[in-house]
Amino acid sequence: MMPEYGQLRGRVDWTLVIAVAGLVAIGTMGILSAASPLPYYAQIVQRHFLAVGFGIALFMFGLGFNYQIFQDQAKTLYVLTLIMMTAVLFIGEVQRGTRGWVNLGLFSFQPSELARLLTMLVLANYLDKQASRTGAVRYVFGAFAVAMPVLALILLEPDFSSTLPIFPMVLGMLFCAGANIAPLLAMAACGALTFTLPLIWAVLSVRMDLTSGSVILTALMRLRSFDMPLVIAILGVCLLAFAAWRVTLAFRLPAPGLYFIAGTAIVVLGLCTAVVFDHQLKGYQRDRFVSFLVPEADPKGASYNVRQAQVAIGSGGLWGKGVFSGTQSRLGFLPERHTDFVYAVIGEEMGFLGALSVLALYLLLLWRVVHTARLARDNYGYLVCCGVAVTYMFYLVVNVGMCLGVMPVAGIPLPLLSYGGSSLAVNLLALGIVTNIYSRRYAFY
């Protein structure tokens, strides 16, 4: 039963609420300033404030209901998530080559944002229910089995950027749950191959001279042309390696053989998933990888965004040029200035102190989420907070890193700051659930 809000008074983490409010306020100023020269400025303003109001309502919803209801209804949530992500493939609108939005009249909703949060809640339930098996390899594989169907449906849209936070979220929650470190490292290695090989292939496509005389590099480039039947065949080999590994364990064969089989399976699986991801990448996404490692390859194309973001941040100085006074953003030199690169706008208009304030508020927010995880009354609440903390850290590092030029441009927004109604509303719902966990750190109903 939902308690009255008066019962929660005095138990709300007001430090977290202040950090969230500060980030939303700064983000709103950055969006209003960056989008003001655009011809559809009025529509952006309307939709943003509509998302803020809807997000506040979702925050209060997450705060008011007992968060344990999400664990009780985990199976229902999972089924609804799969149905929602399947339906969007048929009824969704196509924007920028991705069928990932549903038109709700006043605004468009991106179901993948909600799907990540629901997957986190379902995964926390799985990890909690299977807590007695944390040392088993199947505990790790089971967690990825929960997330993979959602990830696959997002890739079918195709929306590569939306899948990026899922992998670190699963790994982080497994680590916090106490999973065996060996399979975690194995999955991390597989993920590293998955995401780095397409980057290597993209760079080698630009600098083909590097492959001359190199058998390994030439083989890597040929691997990229594999078709799906061959990938499926290699996955079959990987499954056979896994079966051999299980036999090795059952008959207590020497450790070197076990490590060889496990290592082979990791490499083969990583190569297969890398091929699949490389085929999912669009041309402009591959160009972003190239511009990160070879900026001189396309200075007026793929490298342009990052260069302009660096110029904007550097030109802000200590105090900034003033809100609504940024030349890089208002004159249109900085693309995607109210979405992915809003941090660069803040750096230009609010200066070093404004950019530092954003980082300070994010660190304050992360600290309170981690603190809530420590105080959670049950393992489920602890794991949900861990998932939120890991996801926010990933978003922060990638988005700020790409604005500073130390990370490749990945189309990752900055939560609570970047323009995007679905992202803002879902993030406020997630933080409402975290605040609920903090409010119920003591046993009361």
> What are the sequence ranges of the domains in the chain?
5-437
pLDDT, residue 1, reads 39
pLDDT in 10s for each residue of the chain, 445 residues: 344 444 545 588 899 999 999 999 999 998 888 887 788 888 888 888 999 999 999 999 998 888 999 999 999 999 999 999 999 988 888 877 778 888 877 777 889 999 999 999 999 999 999 988 887 878 888 898 899 899 888 888 877 788 888 989 999 999 999 888 877 887 787 777 777 777 776 666 665 544 454 555 555 555 555 555 555 555 566 666 666 656 655 655 454 555 555 666 677 777 777 777 766 666 666 666 666 666 655 556 556 777 777 888 888 888 888 887 777 766 666 777 777 888 888 988 888 999 999 999 999 999 999 999 999 999 999 999 999 999 999 999 998 988 887 777 777 889 999 888 889 999 999 999 999 999 988 754 4
The model's pTM: 0.84
Contacts of 354-359 spanning 24+ positions with Cβ under 8 A: 354/26, 354/316, 354/320, 355/313, 355/316, 357/22, 357/26, 358/23, 358/26, 358/417, 359/396, 359/400
Cβ(316)–Cβ(352) under 8 Å? Answer: yes
Beta carbons within 10 angstroms of residue 18's beta carbon: 14
Residue with tokens 């030199």: 333
Give the residue among 160, 159, 128 at the shortest CA–CA distance from 146: 128
Token couple for 330? 């208002």
Nearest to 346 by CA among 365, 363, 326: 326
